[in-house]
Chain A
Amino acid sequence: MNRPYTTQTQERDDTQCLICGTRNEDAAVQCIECSAPMALVRDGTDPQSRPKVVTILGDSNVGKTVYLGFLLDMLSQHTTDYQAIPIGAYSVNVQQNVISHMACRMFPPKTPMEADQWHWAYYQICKRTSRKEEWLDLVIPDIAGESLTAELANPNTFRVINSLAGKSAGMLLLLDAPQAANGSSQPDFFGVKMLTYLDAVHRADRRSRVQMPTAVVLCKADMCPECFDDPRHFTEVNLSRLWNLCQSRLGNVEFFACSAVGSLAYATSPEEDFVTPIPLHTALRGVLEPFEWVVQQL
């Protein structure tokens, strides 16, 4: 019976989600299980090979969205050794969101915890200086830090993260450098939990190490510039638990420092109990290097 103000789906052939493998109807826009966009499958440029997933992980408010937005925008402008082409208009959302906010001296809004609200970027990457052009398809989601934290605390809270961790060909682990430099152990513990989680996902035994290329990125390094002098030394001194775990469990890890904001100020008034951070100007430093290193390892 037709109900005039309802819509109904009809049975069709199904498509397997790129991230979690769940079968979805062909018309599905998002995976019914993990909410990853089904366009990642449909937009694939090479039917014989699937795109590689690179995940950017970090605690809430560490700067994942800003990092990813600037990274993709820099790559898209072809001003570096790498050339990047977005696949699908949705892939431009995160960089548009970041650039439009940062150009107006605002940070982009918080990434919601709901996976169907995340931005996903699907890019084709090529290193222009190599004699032989080799194109690589990369999928990079912008994940909410709180979802990560909840997943680390109780695995399978957000199964999409478990699926991403298992599917990742490379990882960038973002940590709050000023927080660590100020003596907080929170970044250190987050890093340890993250690596331990990945260790479990990849099921590496105690005799072998996780070989997935992992870039440990010290973010907001404009506020503690000694990170740029020697990121390894900074990690060893200020994130010692993470450092030790990296030495023992990761077989392919490198350390970097980066910053996007040149100067940070705060709008404040006595009547309010919060301050609004204002990125006064940009000074991109160390944004490309961690990504380039990971891509080189793939």
Chain B
Amino acid sequence: MTLSLFALAKPKSRDAAAGPSWLPGPYQPAEQPAAALDPLKRLLQQERFGHVVRQHRSLGAHPQIQAAFQAAVEAIDDRFALVPEGYATLPATVNDYPGCPEKDVQTEPFLLARHCVTNRQYQMFVDDGAYENPHMWPEDILPHLVDFVDLTGHGAPRHWRNGRHDKRLADHPVVGICYYEAAAYARWAGYRLPTNAEWQMAASWRIRSAAHVLRRYPWGDSFDTSKCNVWASRIGHTVPVTDYENGAAPNAVLQLIGNVWEWTDSDYDVTDDQGRAVVGDMLMKEIRGGAYDTYFPSQATSCFRTGLPALARAHNVGFRCVMDAGDGDSRPASPQAG
């Protein structure tokens, strides 16, 4: 169904020649590959592996479902990593001082994407007509959909043009998307956003054991600009999501620290040292991990909590997806079973 009730404003005429300021040359729009006709193949082509695994029952009549399911499981196995059960201690105040009130949250095992969602991956979400499909969005967000446009007025992340990303940034994390866009993509792909406790567990690797081990960074406790992309690394922009392998967490998840902040599914709900509520102009969602322009190393750690208005489409905030560990355990029945 097209979004006729919320027809997008006439695209603004902008200079289509300029690319990102740090990339030389003009904007190079990514090509749009031909979409597979077969719906199951299209799901795989769109890398909606979580959707295939979780919705296989509704797809069970398809003759290729077993092969598709197997391919999806293998893809998830390749793109996601298991985070064991553990727990996260979340300070309840905006400044984490000794003795401040805090909350211990236990986390169940879950699957965490090894990389943030890239422009290439998000392009498939855009090309699937998500921005014109009101069923993709919560009802109370529909009036804001007209603001989810790119530099030329097309429904797309903020810094794109004509609904296309710059192909030179295909493997960079998608940015310029608000929390609702991130959540919508995750749902479309069959995943979800991590909670703040899950994210912190993955970055600090605080597994349940006799030793109370808590890592300040996924790779250990020492800040190291060669293992992450923050301000002190002197990069000044995002890098491909596959960079900084030496900064990986124990389960080979990359770039939990630096490059881009990551949306979580949790509200940013803290007080200040005097017990006053800390609020923003609107609902704030928690973001984690720091970004390429994070100046203070103390703000790019596994436990640093901060928030952003849920509708903010910042240049340095992306996201990664998670799956519950139990998803996809039941294989589809063979169509011939009878």
Contacts and interface: CB of A to CB of B under 8 A. Distances in A.
A263 B277 contact: no
A263 B279 contact: no
Nearest to A269: B276
Contacts of B268: 265
Contacts of B307: 263, 265, 280
Interface string A204-231: 0000000000000000001001001100
A28 B251 CA distance: 64
B94 A282 contact: no
Contacts of A228: 315
Contacts of A108: none
Contact of B94 (A70, A79, A278): A278
Given A278-B94, A280-B306, A284-B231, A267 B293 contact: no
A103 B95 CA distance: 10
Contacts of A284: 231, 293, 295
A263 B308 CA distance: 6
Given A79-B234, A105-B94, A281 B277 contact: no
A77 B295 CA distance: 11
A266 B308 contact: no
Secondary structure at chain B's binding surface: helix, strand, loop or mixed? Answer: loop
Contacts of A237: none
Interface in B251-295: 261, 268, 271-272, 274-280, 284, 287, 290-291, 293-295
A225 B314 contact: yes
Nearest to B300: A281
Contacts of A281: 290, 294, 296, 299, 304, 306
A272 B276 CA distance: 10
Interface string A257-270: 00000111111110
Contacts of B275: 269
A266 B299 contact: no
B296 A265 contact: no
Contacts of B151: 229
A162 to B, nearest CB: 35
A264 B316 contact: no
Interface residues of A, number: 28
B43 interface: no
Contacts of B306: 262-263, 280-281
A285 B276 CA distance: 30
A184 interface: no
Given A105-B95, A263-B307, A282 B279 contact: no
A283 interface: yes
B90 interface: no
Interface string B89-116: 0000011000000000000000000000
Contact of B279 (A70, A229, A268, A272): A268
Contacts of B226: none
Given A278-B94, A280-B94, A280-B306, A265 B278 contact: yes
Interface string B304-321: 101111001111100000
A276 B274 CA distance: 11
Contact of A262 (B94, B276, B277, B314): B314
A283 B95 contact: no
B232 interface: yes
Contacts of A262: 261, 291, 293-294, 306, 308, 314, 316
A267 B299 contact: no
A262 B293 CA distance: 9
B298 interface: yes
Contacts of A298: none
A104 interface: yes
Given A283-B294, A284-B293, A267 B276 contact: yes
Contacts of A276: 272, 276
Contacts of B316: 262, 283
Nearest to B159: A229
A284 B268 CA distance: 22
Interface string B65-101: 0000000000000000000000000000011000000
A285 to B, nearest CB: 6
A267 B314 contact: no
Contacts of B290: 281
Contacts of B95: 104-105
Contacts of A103: 296, 298
B280 A264 contact: yes
Given A225-B313, A278-B94, 13 more contacts: A103-B296, A105-B95, A262-B314, A262-B316, A263-B309, A263-B312, A265-B94, A268-B276, A278-B272, A278-B278, A282-B293, A282-B296, A284-B231
29 contacts: A79-B234, A103-B296, A225-B158, A225-B313, A228-B315, A229-B151, A262-B293, A262-B314, A262-B316, A263-B308, A266-B278, A266-B279, A267-B94, A268-B277, A268-B279, A269-B274, A269-B275, A269-B276, A269-B277, A272-B276, A280-B306, A280-B308, A282-B294, A282-B295, A282-B296, A283-B314, A284-B231, A284-B295, A285-B293
Interface of B: 94-95, 151, 158, 231-232, 234, 261, 268, 271-272, 274-280, 284, 287, 290-291, 293-296, 298-299, 304, 306-309, 312-316
- 6 tightest CB-CB pairs across the interface, nearest first? A267-B272, A267-B276, A282-B295, A269-B276, A281-B306, A280-B306
